[in-house]
């Protein structure tokens, strides 16, 4: 058996409201549009998460809310304050408690990009992987029967994309 992870950075956020806290920032128009594009891409490739772990920040929850309608079988997200601006070890710990065979996690940089690089045996050759820009999405498989067995450098990248790959 194996487990699949869909690891995503939130979509582009809106910085126009100088009174909004970082935690409360929503997505800008480009980010909203990117969610539809990435959601359609996920659905077209059959990358359907059965469990979704998200930071409780507004922009991560909105990212899921805007891309989920594009999926065939969207599930309700599980917001977790511990994932807000989390370090890779915190995110790894949350993943090790996951229960579904296919899990999506939506978080923030630099943690999410560092986690992505640390989970796989070989990085994809994509030129933007190291930067893990907004709504970067990695799909990786792990040869484990339970998420509690998840270890660094054990995954195989199945796919990696950024919204600009689909819109330019």
The reported pLDDT for the residue numbered 146 is: 98
Confirm whether 17 is domain-assigned: no
Range of the domain at 49: 3-12+23-167
Contacts of 123 (CB under 8 A, 6+ apart): 117, 129, 130, 157
59 by DSSP, 3-state: which? Answer: helix
The CATH code of the domain that includes 129 is: 3.40.50.1240
Q: What is the pLDDT along the chain (168 residues), one digit of tens a residue?
A: 799 999 999 999 998 888 889 999 999 999 999 999 999 999 999 999 999 999 999 999 999 999 999 999 999 999 999 999 999 999 999 999 999 999 999 999 999 999 999 999 999 999 999 999 999 999 999 999 999 999 999 999 999 999 999 986
- The answer to whether 4 and 140 have CB atoms below 8 angstroms apart is yes
Greatest Cα pair distance in the chain:
48
């Amino acid at each position: 058996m194996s487990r699949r992870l869909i690891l995503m950075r939130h979509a582009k956020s809106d910085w126009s409201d100088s009174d909004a806290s970082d935690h409360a920032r929503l997505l800008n128009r480009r980010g909203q549009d990117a969610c539809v594009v990435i959601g359609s891409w996920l659905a077209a490739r059959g990358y359907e998460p059965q469990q979704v772990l998200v930071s409780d920040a507004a922009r991560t929850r909105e990212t899921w809310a805007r891309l989920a309608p594009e999926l065939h079988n969207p599930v309700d997200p599980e917001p977790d304050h511990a994932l807000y601006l989390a370090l890779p070890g915190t995110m790894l710990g949350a993943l090790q408690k996951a229960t579904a065979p296919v899990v999506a996690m939506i978080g923030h940089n630099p943690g999410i990009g560092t986690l992505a690089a640390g989970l796989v045996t070989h990085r994809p050759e994509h030129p933007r992987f190291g930067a893990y820009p907004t709504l970067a999405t990695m799909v990786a498989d792990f040869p484990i029967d339970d998420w509690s067995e998840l270890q660094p450098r054990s995954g195989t990248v199945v796919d990696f994309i950024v919204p600009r790959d689909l819109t330019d």
